[in-house]
Amino acid sequence: MLLAINANNTNVKFAVYDGEKPLGDWRIKTEAGRTADQYVVWLNQLMTMQGLRLADIDAAIIATVVPQSLFHLNMLCEAHLKTKPLVVGDPGVKLGIEVKMDIPSSTVGADRLANAVAGHLTYRKPLVVVDFGTATTFDVVDGEGNYIGGAIAPGIVLSVEILHSATAMLPRIVVERPGRVIGKSTTEAMQSGIFWGYVGLIEGMVKRIGEEFGGSLDVVATGGLAPLFHGQTPVITHLDPDITMRGLVEIYRRNRG
């Protein structure tokens, strides 16, 4: 079985696969200092609850945008699972796509590269993958599956926290679709600004990306808050919560399959 690990700035997601078949997935809050011993105790308990065994894991792949976590995740795989993981971004790891950037591909977030790999594999057409994570990222994939760049904006939850922490009277709010655009209370006004502001961001960015790209693109939404926006704007054509992990499985297959 393959253990795929995606460590981002908010959560670390673990998923176990038998070939391409997902058997279970779990998340834990990202803490850079969390040790391999702590990871393995937590993971073992959750896998056991689903009838899975750590001993059956014989391969692993890691994508992380938190460099401080990589040592402990490597140790989890090597010391406890007795397998050396592939690490997306390492020089010897083949993506099977071209990364058309002005800077080395190792500086592009590993999750964004995994999204590009899975996006092309699944949809086979030019794409914008919008990932609603700690940052809201827009990643552009051409018709051949190559990663050609993108854009990064502040994430929704981050924006809400900044509004609350940097102002004297604005409360912390729950991100949800408000009943109207013109808020009749401070909370309603904040919800409107966040929700419809991000809808406007998505629509505006996709329009500009399409104009610069020179053609139409499907738009794939992923990340924790993607379901909130899917169906609220016609520019989002697909909701795909598992795209990153499928990308990791495919990258593993291209290197070790």
- Of 29, 56, 87, which marks where a domain is finished? 87
Mean pLDDT score, 71-100 = 94
For the chain, the domain total comes to 2
- Is residue 61 pLDDT above 90, yes or no? yes
**CA angle, 222 as apex, 219 and 227 as ends, to 5°?**
95
Q: Are residues 112 and 236 in the same domain?
A: yes
Query: 53 with 81, same domain?
Result: yes
Residues 128, 69 within the same domain: no
Mean pLDDT score of the chain: 93
**Residue 131, marked binder:** yes
- Under the banding of pLDDT at 50, 70 and 90, the label for residue 172 is confident
Report the pLDDT value the prediction gives residue 128, as an integer from 0 to 100.
Answer: 97
Q: What is the pLDDT of residue 108?
A: 86
Q: Specify whether 74 is located in the same domain as 16.
A: yes
Residues 144 and 220 in one domain: yes
Q: Is residue 76 located within the same domain as residue 115?
A: no
111 assigned binding-site residue: yes
Task: Give mean pLDDT, residues 21-49.
Answer: 95
What digits encode the pLDDT tens for the residues 189-208? 999 999 999 999 999 999 99
Query: What is the SS3 assignment for 35?
Result: coil
What band does 151 get if pLDDT is binned at 50, 70 and 90?
A: very high
Verify that 140 and 77 share a domain, yes or no.
Answer: no
Predicted structure pTM score: 0.90
- Does the annotation flag 25 for ligand binding? no
Q: Which of the residues are catalytic?
A: 111
Does the annotation flag 10 for ligand binding? Answer: yes
122 labelled as ligand-binding? no
Lowest mean per-residue pLDDT among 9-13, 95-99, 168-172: 168-172
How confident is the model over 28-51, as a mean pLDDT?
Answer: 94
For the domain that residue 14 is a member of, what is the CATH number? 3.30.420.40
Q: What is the tens place of the pLDDT at every residue in 88-125?
A: 988 889 999 999 988 765 578 899 999 999 999 999 99
What's the CA gap between 64 and 223, in Å, rounded? Answer: 15
CA 245 to centroid of chain Cα atoms: 8
Maximal C-alpha separation, the chain: 58
CA end-to-end distance (rounded Å), the chain:
12
Give the pLDDT score at 102: 85
| CA 181 distance to own-chain centroid | 29
Domain coverage including residue 78? 2-87
- Give the pLDDT of residue 104: 64
pLDDT of residue 238: 97
Check whether residue 165 and residue 229 sit in a common domain: yes
pLDDT of 144: 95
